[in-house]
Amino acid sequence: MSRAALLVLADGRFPAGGHAHSGGAEAAVKAGRITGASSLEEFCRGRLHTAGLVSASLAAAAVLGVNPMELDAAADARTPSPALRVAARKLGRQLMRAARATWPSVELDALAREFPKGAHQPVVLGVTARVAGLDAVDAAHCAAYESVSGPASATVRLLSLDPFDATAVLARLAPELDRVADQAVEAAGRVVDHGVDALPSASAPLLEIGAELHAAWPVRLFAS
């Protein structure tokens, strides 16, 4: 197992397309729900314990060998917003391109054939983590971190927020991120025994509503 592979996969410079997405932060800024570091922290905390937990659980389950087709269908069922489903598959497709170039494998090739239009990003993340020699908790940490680092990075650009303040938000959330990753691994274990219905289905209605509004904007800085 290579811990360095986790650093590569979680690095914001890994060409997986995340820089073009705000994780709902752009819509939240426009709605006045994010105005600075304090409200960014609350937004990220809510996202971590809802969308972040679901994504981390999907990724961990994929590492444990749960059928990607079943996981992708479960991800669809837990993503009511069509705009968010489109974004998740775009991100999955981009991650697949980067993963196949970085860790060539028969398994990733097969997943790409099964999902020519892209699987949900957390599913691709989990399979990529396994191919890279990582375990379920690594994938869960990566997914959970992405759920908050994307909005934090986007808010720096959207509000000209001090990057030091945004990074401090992520540091304060670190203990909660660890807990969410542990919860995700526990959920993934239940999925192995009882099927994908055991996955968390924590919802964030404002993220879903914001995504649909954001998708209709004629001009926007981020894709989602």
Q: How many domains does the chain have?
A: 1
- Does residue 221 form part of some domain? no
Distances (CA, A) of 200 to 20, 40, 52: 27, 24, 10
Q: Is residue 18 part of a domain?
A: no
Residue 175 is inside which H or E element, if any? helix 163-194
| The pLDDT of residue 82 | 96
List the domain range (segments joined by +) for residue 42: 3-10+25-87+122-215
In a domain, 94, yes or no: no
CA dist 185 and 93 (Å) reads 24
Q: Please check whether residue 96 lies inside any domain of the structure.
A: no
> Domain for residue 128, yes or no?
yes
Residues 151-168 pLDDT 10s: 999 999 999 999 999 999
Residue 109 falls inside a structural domain: no
- Name the average pLDDT for the chain: 96
CA distance linking residue 62 with residue 136, whole number of Å: 8
Q: Is 135 part of any domain?
A: yes
CA distance 31 to 220: 14
Is residue 44 within 8 Å of 169, Cβ to Cβ?
Answer: yes
Using one digit for the tens of pLDDT, what is the confidence trace for 117-129? 999 999 999 999 9
Domain with residue 65: its CATH number is: 1.10.4190
In a domain, 80, yes or no: yes
Ranges in the chain, pLDDT < 70:
1-2
Question: Shortest CA distance to 58 belongs to which of 44, 41, 79, 43?
Answer: 79
